[in-house]
Amino acid sequence: MKLSTKFKCCVGVACCAAACKGSPESSPSRSSSASLPAQSSSALSGSANVGVSAPLLSARETEVAAAAEAEAPQKPDVIYVPTPQPVVDKMLELANVKSNDLVYDLGCGDGRIVVTAAKRYGARAVGFDVDPERVEEARENVRQNGLEDRVTIEQKDIFTLDLAPANVVTLYLLPRLNVRLIPQLSQMRPGSRVVSHDFDIQGVVPVQSLTLRPEPEKLPHSVFLFEIPLQKEK
């Protein structure tokens, strides 16, 4: 299956709840190929509680918003922004995923994160998306990797989900949407992990954060790790 290079966002899903027609902001989702890509190396640096600078956030938001605007006439309620596989790998590594974990990916795109979690770590995983095209693509990814017994893809609005069963939740949302999820995230069991690509959770202190640049010619990516109970800023 050819990997789409389009950008896409969905109303009410983690891939993007606010980049719909008539909405002033957008949020990215992830994509993957039908089979698990080979892990690639990348230079990275990271330290505990090191966030992304405001200019970088602004640049990333501008990049995503531009993509959303370009796609708006075709699909006003969707924007598609793939997460590079090295970033997926780092997110799951930072979350310390284990074989007995249940991983929820909110806005699963083509299922790259849940497939990696199951294939590399033996975890059970569920991907959620409201876009039927992405749901079918993710299910095909799961089938081609022979992971039907460990991975489920569901077409649901992430803002209606009960997140309590999950040990690990992965996000790729703009900050305002991350904040909207705080009540749901707070229902997770103590010690559960939340890992967010590129954007932090305003008002919440990350346990650790880092940056990596898998594609030297593009902007660096940031990864933020949070633990339950969430530590609020003072």
CATH of the domain at 83: 3.40.50.150
Residue 13 resides in a domain: no
Which stretches of the chain drop beneath a pLDDT of 50? 1-27, 29-53, 68-78
pLDDT tens-digit map of 186-203: 999 999 999 999 999 999
Give the model's pLDDT for residue 134.
93
What residues pair up with 150 in beta bridges, in sequence order? Answer: none
Spell 157-192 as b/e; 16+ CB within 10 A means b. ebbebebeebbbbbbbbbbebbebbeebbeebeeeb
Residue 190 resides in a domain: yes
Annotate the chain with DSSP letters as a single string. Answer: -PPP------TTBTTBSS-STT-S---------SSPPPP----EEEETT----HHHHHHHHHHHHHHHHHHTTT-TT----PPPHHHHHHHHHHTT--TT-EEEEES-TTTHHHHHHHHHH--EEEEEES-HHHHHHHHHHHHHTT-TTTEEEEE--GGG---TT-SEEEE---HHHHHHTHHHHTTSPTT-EEEEES---TTB--SEEEEE-SSTTS--EEEEEEESSP-B--
Give the model's pLDDT for residue 106.
95
Residue 37 resides in a domain: no
Residue 148 resides in a domain: yes
Give the model's pLDDT for residue 162.
98
Domain that holds residue 156: 44-227
Residue 7 resides in a domain: no
Give the model's pLDDT for residue 82.
79
**Cα–Cα separations (whole angstroms), residue 90 to 62, 195, 231:** 24, 10, 22
Rounded CA-CA distance 51/41 in Å is 22
Exposed, middle or buried, 41 (CB in 10 Å: 0-12/13-18/19+)?
A: exposed
Q: How many domains are there within the chain?
A: 1
